[in-house]
């Protein structure tokens, strides 16, 4: 038994010594060899030239100028007549003769009464007078397709512009307000009242007052069926009824005493209109006729429009009318000075200072 235990002991000791010897031998004879590793190939990534980022300049679209055309004052571009035609404080009545057929303002005048100086002045405006409108009015003409039509730049077409623009002012008609503002800007004449009468009304007035005596400066021979005109007047002093008086104040072309057709133009016609108005005031402004005026306005209601009512005649104007009847007023007339020109093929009369004419 002791022998068997000794064998086991030595066997265990042997095993342990063998294991220790194994590790000693391995550590003595082991040579570290470097592990061969596959070479690492570092590939150079080709440098891609960087494309510079384009700095895109934004397109600046100019903002259209917004113009408040309604805020632009007045109607003309600084058009101004060089002389003052009426005295300060005068009462100025706008007188309009309307062509019933064509609808144009065939006659435009002003009766200015200077109560201090005792002067009644007649001013006739050339119907072909060019009006240099401002941006507000030109914009209106552009939007209505009429900017290139030179006829609308003549003063006898002003009524149409005033109506279309619904032009506001002291009177109840846009056409009158517009025309009154032109008178104020160009001639510095403040319009107090107006009288608008058509051809039928004009003839009525002359006939109601019994006709007018006047000197006819030359033969007037002209027919125009379209306008209903038949003018046949001899040269010399004559008594004209309503129809004859209409022919006298509207005549601008026709045959002379030698049967030669002649065009006299609007300026010559204005001279005849002034002569007629002078004769009418001198002959018909009597104390007896003044009392007929309120009734006359009612009679002419269909053919005449006015801002003067019967009450105004009896109050505001009665003193002046009586003084006219008593010849206390000197009756004068003024001719508007200008020059003839052609704009876009249309005849015009340039009045006052105008910086630029572009239609």
pLDDT recorded at residue 13: 44
| Two tokens, residue 148 | 């290139």
| Phi, psi angle pair for 212, to nearest 5° | -135, 135
CA dihedral sign of residues 121, 126, 129, 133: positive
Q: Do 120 and 111 contact (CB within 8 A), yes or no?
A: yes
With H, G, I as helix, E, B as strand and everything else as coil, classify residue 128.
coil
pLDDT recorded at residue 94: 97
Q: Do 294 and 310 contact (CB within 8 A), yes or no?
A: yes
Angle between helices 242-250 and 199-208 (to 10 degrees): 130
| Best CATH choice for the domain 69-350 from the list 3.40.630.190, 3.40.50.410, 3.30.1780.10, 3.30.470.10 | 3.40.630.190
How many other C-beta atoms can be found within 10 angstroms of the C-beta atom of residue 295? 11
Q: Over 2-36, what HEC string results?
A: HHHHHHHHHHHHHHHHHHHHHHHHHHHHCCCCCCC
Burial of 162 (0-12, 13-18, 19+ CB in 10 A): buried
With H, G, I as helix, E, B as strand and everything else as coil, classify residue 322.
helix
Q: Do 273 and 162 contact (CB within 8 A), yes or no?
A: no
Burial of 286 (0-12, 13-18, 19+ CB in 10 A): middle
pLDDT recorded at residue 27: 43
DSSP letter (8 states) at residue 351: -
| Phi, psi angle pair for 225, to nearest 5° | -60, -35
Size (the chain), residues:
359
pLDDT recorded at residue 61: 67
pLDDT truncated to tens, each residue of the chain (359 aa)? 444 444 444 444 454 445 444 444 344 344 444 444 445 444 555 555 555 555 566 666 666 677 888 889 999 999 999 999 999 999 999 999 987 666 678 899 999 999 999 999 999 999 999 999 999 999 999 999 999 999 999 999 999 999 999 999 999 999 999 999 999 999 999 999 999 999 999 999 999 999 999 999 999 999 998 888 899 999 999 999 999 999 999 999 999 999 999 999 888 999 999 999 999 999 999 988 888 887 787 778 889 999 998 778 778 888 898 999 999 999 999 989 999 998 888 889 999 876 555 55
pLDDT recorded at residue 42: 45
| Two tokens, residue 124 | 């006739």
pLDDT recorded at residue 123: 96
216: Cβ contacts below 8 Å, ≥ 6 apart:
233, 234, 235, 236, 237, 238, 248
218: Cβ contacts below 8 Å, ≥ 6 apart:
235, 256, 257
Q: What are residue 331's DSSP bridge partners?
A: 120
| Two tokens, residue 324 | 């006219």
How is 57-116 classified by DSSP, letter by letter?
Answer: PPP-PPPPPP--GGGS-SSBSS-B-SS--S-TT-EEEEEEEE-TTT-SEEEEEEEEEETT
pLDDT tens digits, 117-173: 999 999 999 999 999 999 999 999 999 999 999 999 999 999 999 999 999 999 999
């Amino acid at each position: 038994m002791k022998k068997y235990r000794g064998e086991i002991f030595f066997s265990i000791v042997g095993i342990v010594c063998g294991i220790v010897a194994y590790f000693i031998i391995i550590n003595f004879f082991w040579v570290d060899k470097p592990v061969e590793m596959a070479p690492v190939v570092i590939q150079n990534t080709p440098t891609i030239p960087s494309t510079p980022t384009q700095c895109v300049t934004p397109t600046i679209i100019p903002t259209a100028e917004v113009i408040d055309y309604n805020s632009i004052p007045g109607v003309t571009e600084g058009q101004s007549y060089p002389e003052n035609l009426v005295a300060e404080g005068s009462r100025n009545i706008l007188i309009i003769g309307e062509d019933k057929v064509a609808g144009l303002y065939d006659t435009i005048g002003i009766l200015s009464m200077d109560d201090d100086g005792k002067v009644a002045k007649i001013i006739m405006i050339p119907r072909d007078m060019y009006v240099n409108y401002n941006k507000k009015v030109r914009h209106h003409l552009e939007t209505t397709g009429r900017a290139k039509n030179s006829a609308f730049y003549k003063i006898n077409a002003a009524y149409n512009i005033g109506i279309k623009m619904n032009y506001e002012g002291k009177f109840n008609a846009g056409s009158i307000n517009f025309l009154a503002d032109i008178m104020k800007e160009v001639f510095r004449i403040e319009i107090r009242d107006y009288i608008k009468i058509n051809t039928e009304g004009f003839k009525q007035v002359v006939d109601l007052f019994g006709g007018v005596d006047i000197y006819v400066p030359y033969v007037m021979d002209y027919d125009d069926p379209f306008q209903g005109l038949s003018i046949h007047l001899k040269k010399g002093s004559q008594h004209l009824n309503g129809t004859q008086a209409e022919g006298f104040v509207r005549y601008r072309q026709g045959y002379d005493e030698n049967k030669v057709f002649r065009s006299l133009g609007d300026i010559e016609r204005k001279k005849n209109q002034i002569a007629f108005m002078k004769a009418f005031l001198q002959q018909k402004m009597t104390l007896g006729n003044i009392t007929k005026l309120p009734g006359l306005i009612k009679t002419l209601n269909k053919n005449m429009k006015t801002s003067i009512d019967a009450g105004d005649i009896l109050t505001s104007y009665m003193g002046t009318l009586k003084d006219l009847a008593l010849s206390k007023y000197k009756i004068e007339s003024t001719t508007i000075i200008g020059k003839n020109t052609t704009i876009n093929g249309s005849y015009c009369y340039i009045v006052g200072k105008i910086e630029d004419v572009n239609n």
